[in-house]
Amino acid sequence: MHKIKRDDLVKVIAGKDRDKQGKVLHVDTKNNKVLVEGCNMITKHVKPGPGSPQGGIVQKEAALDISNVMLVVDGKATRVGFEVKDGKKVRVAKTTGKAID
């Protein structure tokens, strides 16, 4: 079980996009990277092909290190912990103490 999951709302705490918020699009647990909607945008040159017949210059999100984002709960960035409730391991917001899932 991981502290950041897909579709979580996170806040970027380091880098050029510090203080931006966005939804997590993808989590790469093997490399500890996350893709956040609207953050860490890069310019990519795409050749024409079946996926994009025109080709051209495309803006897209690049991966951020998972340590550079914090989960947002009730409008505030918070740390995440784990507790066992009813025999299940649950993510818990450290500031409020309430379960996230």
Q: What is the pLDDT of residues 36-81, one digit of tens each?
A: 999 999 999 999 999 889 999 999 999 999 999 999 999 999 999 9
Structure tokens belonging to residue 52: 């994009």
Separation of CA 24 from chain center: 3
Q: How far apart are CA 68 and CA 10, in angstroms?
A: 10
Nearby residues of 50 by Cβ (< 8 Å), 6 or more positions away: none
Q: How far apart are CA 85 and CA 18, in angstroms?
A: 34
pLDDT of the residue at 98: 85
